[in-house]
Structure 1
Amino acid sequence: MTRAYYSTIFEAPAENVWNTIRSFGDYDWAGVPSVTVIENGRAGDQIGAVRRVEMADRTMRQILIAHSDRERSYSYEFLSGMPVNAENYIATLRVTPIIDGNKSFIEWFADFDATPDDRDLIRDAFVTNGFAVWLRSLRARLAQSEWDWG
Protein backbone atom coordinates (compact mmCIF):
# COMPACT_ATOMS: atom_id res chain seq x y z
CA MET A 1 0.00 0.00 0.00
CA THR A 2 1.32 3.42 -0.99
CA ARG A 3 0.21 6.82 0.35
CA ALA A 4 0.00 10.05 -1.63
CA TYR A 5 -0.14 12.94 0.85
CA TYR A 6 -0.46 16.70 0.53
CA SER A 7 -1.15 19.35 3.17
CA THR A 8 -1.38 23.10 3.27
CA ILE A 9 -2.51 26.00 5.44
CA PHE A 10 -5.29 28.38 4.41
CA GLU A 11 -5.77 31.88 5.77
CA ALA A 12 -9.46 31.09 6.25
CA PRO A 13 -11.47 29.65 9.14
CA ALA A 14 -11.99 25.89 9.04
CA GLU A 15 -15.76 26.34 8.97
CA ASN A 16 -15.56 28.43 5.79
CA VAL A 17 -13.34 25.85 4.11
CA TRP A 18 -15.47 22.92 5.23
CA ASN A 19 -18.72 24.59 4.17
CA THR A 20 -17.26 24.99 0.68
CA ILE A 21 -16.15 21.38 0.25
CA ARG A 22 -18.45 19.36 2.53
CA SER A 23 -20.87 18.22 -0.16
CA PHE A 24 -19.41 15.29 -2.07
CA GLY A 25 -21.63 16.35 -4.97
CA ASP A 26 -20.02 19.76 -5.37
CA TYR A 27 -16.68 19.45 -7.12
CA ASP A 28 -16.65 22.89 -8.80
CA TRP A 29 -14.28 24.21 -6.14
CA ALA A 30 -11.54 21.87 -7.44
CA GLY A 31 -11.40 23.73 -10.75
CA VAL A 32 -11.75 20.56 -12.80
CA PRO A 33 -13.73 21.28 -15.99
CA SER A 34 -16.50 18.74 -15.54
CA VAL A 35 -20.10 18.05 -14.75
CA THR A 36 -20.59 16.41 -11.36
CA VAL A 37 -23.73 14.52 -10.39
CA ILE A 38 -24.67 12.47 -7.35
CA GLU A 39 -26.43 9.39 -8.70
CA ASN A 40 -29.77 8.01 -7.53
CA GLY A 41 -30.89 11.21 -5.78
CA ARG A 42 -28.74 10.74 -2.71
CA ALA A 43 -27.48 13.68 -0.68
CA GLY A 44 -23.88 14.89 -1.01
CA ASP A 45 -23.16 13.93 2.59
CA GLN A 46 -24.87 10.53 2.55
CA ILE A 47 -22.61 7.50 2.94
CA GLY A 48 -22.92 5.40 -0.18
CA ALA A 49 -23.53 8.40 -2.45
CA VAL A 50 -21.91 7.86 -5.84
CA ARG A 51 -20.32 10.92 -7.47
CA ARG A 52 -20.09 10.80 -11.24
CA VAL A 53 -17.61 13.31 -12.66
CA GLU A 54 -17.93 13.68 -16.42
CA MET A 55 -14.93 15.27 -18.12
CA ALA A 56 -14.10 15.70 -21.79
CA ASP A 57 -11.84 12.63 -21.88
CA ARG A 58 -13.36 10.28 -19.30
CA THR A 59 -15.99 9.72 -16.63
CA MET A 60 -15.04 8.88 -13.06
CA ARG A 61 -17.32 7.33 -10.47
CA GLN A 62 -16.46 7.53 -6.78
CA ILE A 63 -18.37 6.41 -3.71
CA LEU A 64 -18.52 8.28 -0.40
CA ILE A 65 -17.49 5.86 2.36
CA ALA A 66 -17.18 8.25 5.33
CA HIS A 67 -18.41 11.78 6.08
CA SER A 68 -18.08 13.72 9.33
CA ASP A 69 -19.07 17.32 10.00
CA ARG A 70 -17.54 16.97 13.46
CA GLU A 71 -14.16 15.94 12.04
CA ARG A 72 -14.62 18.07 8.90
CA SER A 73 -13.60 15.19 6.66
CA TYR A 74 -14.79 12.71 4.12
CA SER A 75 -13.36 9.62 2.48
CA TYR A 76 -14.16 8.09 -0.86
CA GLU A 77 -13.03 5.33 -3.17
CA PHE A 78 -13.00 4.89 -6.92
CA LEU A 79 -15.59 2.69 -8.57
CA SER A 80 -14.48 3.35 -12.14
CA GLY A 81 -12.58 5.79 -14.33
CA MET A 82 -9.37 5.88 -12.30
CA PRO A 83 -6.96 8.00 -14.36
CA VAL A 84 -3.94 5.84 -13.47
CA ASN A 85 -3.15 2.18 -12.98
CA ALA A 86 -3.87 1.95 -9.26
CA GLU A 87 -6.15 -0.30 -7.26
CA ASN A 88 -7.87 -0.13 -3.88
CA TYR A 89 -7.69 3.68 -3.95
CA ILE A 90 -9.21 5.31 -0.86
CA ALA A 91 -8.79 9.06 -0.34
CA THR A 92 -9.55 11.37 2.58
CA LEU A 93 -9.93 15.14 2.56
CA ARG A 94 -9.79 16.76 6.01
CA VAL A 95 -9.94 20.32 7.36
CA THR A 96 -8.56 21.03 10.85
CA PRO A 97 -8.87 24.40 12.57
CA ILE A 98 -5.72 26.25 13.55
CA ILE A 99 -6.79 28.27 16.54
CA ASP A 100 -3.89 30.73 16.46
CA GLY A 101 -4.87 33.11 13.67
CA ASN A 102 -8.19 31.41 12.82
CA LYS A 103 -6.64 29.49 9.93
CA SER A 104 -7.11 25.99 8.52
CA PHE A 105 -4.86 23.01 8.05
CA ILE A 106 -6.03 21.02 5.03
CA GLU A 107 -4.77 17.57 4.18
CA TRP A 108 -5.69 15.30 1.32
CA PHE A 109 -4.28 11.84 1.11
CA ALA A 110 -4.92 8.59 -0.69
CA ASP A 111 -3.82 5.03 -0.06
CA PHE A 112 -3.62 2.73 -3.05
CA ASP A 113 -1.97 -0.36 -4.47
CA ALA A 114 0.22 -0.24 -7.57
CA THR A 115 3.09 -2.16 -9.06
CA PRO A 116 6.53 -1.28 -7.68
CA ASP A 117 7.38 0.30 -11.04
CA ASP A 118 4.28 2.55 -10.95
CA ARG A 119 3.71 3.48 -7.31
CA ASP A 120 6.15 6.42 -7.02
CA LEU A 121 5.01 7.88 -10.33
CA ILE A 122 1.33 7.55 -9.37
CA ARG A 123 1.93 8.96 -5.87
CA ASP A 124 3.79 11.96 -7.26
CA ALA A 125 1.10 12.54 -9.91
CA PHE A 126 -1.66 12.63 -7.31
CA VAL A 127 0.29 14.99 -5.08
CA THR A 128 1.63 17.37 -7.75
CA ASN A 129 -1.01 17.25 -10.48
CA GLY A 130 -3.96 16.44 -8.26
CA PHE A 131 -4.19 17.41 -4.63
CA ALA A 132 -1.94 20.48 -4.86
CA VAL A 133 -3.72 21.81 -7.97
CA TRP A 134 -7.22 21.19 -6.61
CA LEU A 135 -6.42 22.83 -3.27
CA ARG A 136 -4.93 25.87 -5.06
CA SER A 137 -8.25 26.14 -6.87
CA LEU A 138 -10.09 25.94 -3.56
CA ARG A 139 -7.83 28.65 -2.13
CA ALA A 140 -8.63 30.92 -5.10
CA ARG A 141 -12.35 30.24 -4.74
CA LEU A 142 -12.30 31.09 -1.05
CA ALA A 143 -10.33 34.28 -1.74
CA GLN A 144 -12.90 35.28 -4.38
CA SER A 145 -15.75 34.57 -1.96
CA GLU A 146 -14.07 36.72 0.68
CA TRP A 147 -13.69 39.49 -1.89
CA ASP A 148 -17.34 39.16 -2.95
CA TRP A 149 -18.53 39.32 0.64
CA GLY A 150 -16.12 42.18 1.35
Structure 2
Amino acid sequence: MIRLLAFCLLLTALSFSSAPAQNLLRDPDRAAVPTRPWVVDRTGLTAVPLPARGWCPTPELDGSGVVRLRVDSLDRRAYAAPRRDLQRFLSGVRFLVQQDCPQVQAIEVQGYAAGTRSFLGSLLREEGWTLQGAQLGNSGIRR
Protein backbone atom coordinates (compact mmCIF):
# COMPACT_ATOMS: atom_id res chain seq x y z
CA MET A 1 0.00 0.00 0.00
CA ILE A 2 2.83 2.37 0.87
CA ARG A 3 4.59 1.60 -2.43
CA LEU A 4 1.41 2.36 -4.35
CA LEU A 5 1.02 5.66 -2.50
CA ALA A 6 4.66 6.60 -3.19
CA PHE A 7 4.23 5.74 -6.87
CA CYS A 8 1.08 7.89 -7.11
CA LEU A 9 2.88 10.82 -5.44
CA LEU A 10 5.76 10.48 -7.90
CA LEU A 11 3.39 10.49 -10.85
CA THR A 12 1.60 13.52 -9.46
CA ALA A 13 4.87 15.41 -9.03
CA LEU A 14 5.96 14.59 -12.59
CA SER A 15 2.63 15.68 -14.03
CA PHE A 16 3.10 19.16 -12.57
CA SER A 17 6.74 19.58 -13.63
CA SER A 18 7.58 21.22 -16.94
CA ALA A 19 7.86 19.21 -20.15
CA PRO A 20 11.63 19.85 -20.55
CA ALA A 21 12.19 18.58 -17.02
CA GLN A 22 10.20 15.44 -17.78
CA ASN A 23 12.17 14.83 -20.98
CA LEU A 24 15.43 15.34 -19.12
CA LEU A 25 14.35 12.78 -16.54
CA ARG A 26 13.62 10.26 -19.29
CA ASP A 27 16.73 11.03 -21.35
CA PRO A 28 19.56 12.49 -19.25
CA ASP A 29 22.24 11.98 -21.93
CA ARG A 30 20.71 14.48 -24.38
CA ALA A 31 22.18 17.95 -24.06
CA ALA A 32 19.00 19.63 -25.35
CA VAL A 33 15.43 18.64 -25.95
CA PRO A 34 14.39 19.41 -29.52
CA THR A 35 11.52 21.85 -29.49
CA ARG A 36 10.64 21.78 -33.19
CA PRO A 37 11.78 20.07 -36.37
CA TRP A 38 14.69 21.62 -38.22
CA VAL A 39 13.89 19.82 -41.50
CA VAL A 40 10.54 18.25 -42.45
CA ASP A 41 9.99 15.87 -45.37
CA ARG A 42 6.77 15.14 -47.29
CA THR A 43 7.00 11.51 -46.09
CA GLY A 44 6.74 12.57 -42.45
CA LEU A 45 10.43 12.40 -41.60
CA THR A 46 11.75 15.21 -39.42
CA ALA A 47 15.28 16.07 -38.32
CA VAL A 48 16.69 18.23 -35.56
CA PRO A 49 20.36 18.69 -34.58
CA LEU A 50 21.48 17.69 -31.10
CA PRO A 51 22.06 19.70 -29.05
CA ALA A 52 19.66 22.33 -30.33
CA ARG A 53 22.28 25.04 -29.79
CA GLY A 54 25.97 24.69 -30.48
CA TRP A 55 25.46 21.63 -32.69
CA CYS A 56 28.17 22.58 -35.21
CA PRO A 57 31.56 21.37 -33.96
CA THR A 58 34.02 24.26 -34.12
CA PRO A 59 37.74 24.21 -33.33
CA GLU A 60 37.11 26.72 -30.52
CA LEU A 61 34.73 24.22 -28.90
CA ASP A 62 37.18 21.33 -29.42
CA GLY A 63 35.02 20.09 -32.27
CA SER A 64 35.49 16.62 -33.66
CA GLY A 65 33.73 17.28 -36.97
CA VAL A 66 30.76 15.09 -35.99
CA VAL A 67 27.21 16.44 -36.05
CA ARG A 68 24.46 14.54 -34.22
CA LEU A 69 20.93 14.43 -35.64
CA ARG A 70 17.69 13.11 -34.27
CA VAL A 71 15.41 11.85 -37.05
CA ASP A 72 11.78 11.11 -36.24
CA SER A 73 9.37 8.99 -38.26
CA LEU A 74 5.81 7.90 -37.78
CA ASP A 75 6.73 4.20 -37.98
CA ARG A 76 9.71 1.85 -38.05
CA ARG A 77 9.37 1.06 -41.76
CA ALA A 78 11.27 4.28 -42.57
CA TYR A 79 14.42 2.63 -41.16
CA ALA A 80 14.00 -0.75 -42.86
CA ALA A 81 16.34 -1.70 -45.72
CA PRO A 82 16.95 -0.52 -48.40
CA ARG A 83 16.27 2.93 -46.80
CA ARG A 84 16.10 4.86 -50.10
CA ASP A 85 13.70 7.50 -48.75
CA LEU A 86 15.78 7.91 -45.61
CA GLN A 87 19.00 8.25 -47.66
CA ARG A 88 17.34 10.84 -49.92
CA PHE A 89 16.04 12.77 -46.90
CA LEU A 90 19.43 12.71 -45.20
CA SER A 91 21.14 13.90 -48.40
CA GLY A 92 19.04 17.05 -48.20
CA VAL A 93 19.71 17.42 -44.49
CA ARG A 94 23.45 16.93 -45.11
CA PHE A 95 23.38 19.74 -47.67
CA LEU A 96 21.85 22.07 -45.06
CA VAL A 97 24.33 20.93 -42.42
CA GLN A 98 27.26 21.62 -44.75
CA GLN A 99 25.92 25.11 -45.53
CA ASP A 100 26.05 26.07 -41.85
CA CYS A 101 28.90 23.80 -40.80
CA PRO A 102 31.38 23.22 -43.67
CA GLN A 103 33.91 21.44 -41.45
CA VAL A 104 31.57 18.50 -40.80
CA GLN A 105 33.23 15.11 -41.42
CA ALA A 106 30.48 12.81 -40.17
CA ILE A 107 26.81 12.89 -39.24
CA GLU A 108 25.53 10.57 -36.52
CA VAL A 109 21.87 9.65 -36.99
CA GLN A 110 19.60 8.60 -34.14
CA GLY A 111 16.32 7.43 -35.64
CA TYR A 112 13.10 7.35 -33.65
CA ALA A 113 9.73 5.89 -34.64
CA ALA A 114 6.72 6.94 -32.58
CA GLY A 115 9.06 8.04 -29.77
CA THR A 116 11.08 4.81 -29.60
CA ARG A 117 14.69 4.67 -30.76
CA SER A 118 14.63 2.43 -33.82
CA PHE A 119 17.78 3.18 -35.81
CA LEU A 120 21.42 4.12 -35.32
CA GLY A 121 23.51 5.13 -38.28
CA SER A 122 26.05 7.50 -39.75
CA LEU A 123 27.04 9.34 -42.88
CA LEU A 124 30.78 9.83 -43.42
CA ARG A 125 32.38 12.31 -45.79
CA GLU A 126 35.17 9.85 -46.64
CA GLU A 127 32.58 7.25 -47.72
CA GLY A 128 30.69 9.62 -50.02
CA TRP A 129 27.99 10.39 -47.45
CA THR A 130 26.36 6.96 -47.92
CA LEU A 131 24.11 6.01 -45.03
CA GLN A 132 25.42 3.14 -42.90
CA GLY A 133 23.52 1.80 -39.93
CA ALA A 134 21.24 -0.74 -38.39
CA GLN A 135 17.63 -0.91 -37.37
CA LEU A 136 17.27 -1.71 -33.69
CA GLY A 137 15.13 -4.56 -32.43
CA ASN A 138 11.66 -4.11 -30.98
CA SER A 139 13.16 -3.39 -27.57
CA GLY A 140 14.23 0.14 -28.56
CA ILE A 141 14.48 2.66 -25.75
CA ARG A 142 11.48 4.95 -25.35
CA ARG A 143 12.62 8.59 -25.47
Give the TM-score normalised by structure 1.
Answer: 0.30
Please say which structure displays the higher CA radius of gyration: 2
Structure number with higher helix proportion:
2
Structure number with higher strand proportion:
1
Give the TM-score normalised by structure 2.
Answer: 0.31
More contact order relative to length (CA 8 Å, sep ≥ 6): 1
